[in-house]
Amino acid sequence: MRHRMWLFGICLVGLMVVTGCGSTQVAQLSTSLGLTAFENMGDLNQRDVHVALFVDQKLRDLNLTGEYKFTKFEFPAGEAFTVKLVKALSYNFRRITLLKARSTPLDPAPDATLEVEVQDAHLSFEINPKWATVDTQSFARLVVRAELKQRDGRVVWVGVARAQGEGGGQSRGVLLETDAARQIALGVERAIDSTIADLVKQIVQSPGMQQALSEWEKRRKS
């Protein structure tokens, strides 16, 4: 009987910690690309190309949120997406310049400019206290639209990349808010990685990119 009461007490403590009074937990998302992103991007061949990147401010500031009891969880997905995208592009193109505004002048002018904006983003999660454990599950979805243009304005490629990610974990006894945030964040990070992998793969393998690469190579030789 005493053993059962002890287990019951653990569950209550775990639940109480997660549902602290009116707190906000901001999770720091990883800015490193995961193994799945590299696997899904396929061949990594750094081409002698200069690409300027403009990430729309709405996407840069994207903040996925959710609440459980009295705790609000925030995930700065836009910042992580932007950093990861720069890294993914740098594996495929020799030079990447992140623009603060579409009209930012560059000298010399880049071979192409990639503009990315968010179309849809969603986060849901569950925290389930059980007898002696607390289970966490999360689901995130991200949809972005991108357009790649040559310096003369000709469109090289335009398309939509979308992906979803799932995360979660299980804690025995007490589940701290920081641990809950980290477990939920796994779904967000996987959605970001998969969306970026889809985006980069579409660009690199597109007929428009293959034609543009040929044009840029001839221009450099002339």
CB burial of residue 64 (10 Å; 0-12, 13-18, 19+): buried
Alpha-carbon gap, residue 35 to 182, rounded angstroms: 18
Contacts of 123 (CB under 8 A, 6+ apart): 64, 65, 66, 75, 138, 139, 140, 141, 184, 187, 188
- Paired with 106 in beta bridges are none
Query: Are residues 127 and 136 in contact, defined by beta-carbon separation less than 8 angstroms?
Result: yes
Render pLDDT for 58-114 as a digit per residue (tens, 0 to 9).
Answer: 999 999 999 888 889 999 999 999 999 999 999 999 999 999 998 888 988 999 999
What is the predicted pLDDT for the residue at 159? Answer: 97
pLDDT in tens, the chain (222 residues): 433 333 333 333 444 444 455 688 888 899 999 998 999 998 899 999 999 999 999 999 999 999 888 889 999 999 999 999 999 999 999 999 999 998 888 988 999 999 999 999 999 998 888 777 788 899 999 999 999 999 999 999 999 999 999 998 877 766 778 888 898 999 999 999 999 999 999 999 999 999 998 888 878 777
Q: What CATH number is given for 2-20+46-221 in this structure?
A: 3.40.50
Q: Tell me which residue of 176, 52, 66 sits closest to 102, measured CA to CA.
A: 52
> 95 vs 17, 175, 192, 201, CA distance in Å?
47, 44, 22, 18
Q: Tell me which residue of 206, 215, 93 sits closest to 146, measured CA to CA.
A: 206
Q: Where are the domains of the chain?
A: 2-20+46-221
Structure tokens at 153: 């304005």
